[in-house]
Amino acid sequence: MSISINKEKCIGCRKCINVCPGSLLKSDENNKAYIKYQKDCWGCSSCIKECNEEAISLYLGADIGGRGSRLSVKYEGDIIHWNIENPQGKIKTIDVNSKDSNKY
């Protein structure tokens, strides 16, 4: 698994760079985030959860049933929208209230 960074959506806040446990994300000359070697990505999704601009998505490989789909996150107050987009552009959204996410 690896990530994709949409430079048009990236605002250069560096949140993803600061949270990456492998220090794999860097900043280009325009302060936009990028990953030099996608194959090195751990697939931890830390950067995706940190990005408020929906600029980062995680490729969901065939090995986990994703078949090329991508996962991204959008925040609206306490609601977290986990968006899964398949290669044909169809989007499935899973909404989670962050206040309830750790209740058992």
Q: CATH no. for residue 28?
A: 3.30.70.20
Residue 64 pLDDT: 62
Residue 93 pLDDT: 95
Identify the domain containing residue 63 by its residue range: 3-72
Residue 24 pLDDT: 96
Q: Which are the contacts of 54, defined by CB distance < 8 A and separation ≥ 6?
A: 6, 9, 72, 73, 74, 83
Task: Judge whether 87 lies within some domain.
Answer: no
Task: Judge whether 66 lies within some domain.
Answer: yes
What Cα–Cα distance (Å) separates residue 55 from each residue in 7, 15, 28, 63, 64? 7, 12, 15, 24, 22
Task: Specify whether the CB–CB gap between 3 and 35 falls below 8 A.
Answer: yes
Task: Judge whether 77 lies within some domain.
Answer: no
Residue 66 pLDDT: 67
Task: Judge whether 95 lies within some domain.
Answer: no
* Predicted TM-score (pTM) of this structure: 0.80
Task: Judge whether 51 lies within some domain.
Answer: yes
**Degrees, nearest 5: CA angle 57-33-7:** 65
d(CA 4, CA 58): 6
Residue 55 pLDDT: 96
Task: Judge whether 104 lies within some domain.
Answer: no
d(CA 71, CA 91): 10
What Cα–Cα distance (Å) separates residue 24 from each residue in 17, 33, 64, 102? 8, 10, 23, 29
Residue 68 pLDDT: 81
Residue 60 pLDDT: 85
pLDDT below 70 — which residues of the chain? 63-66, 104
Task: Judge whether 79 lies within some domain.
Answer: no
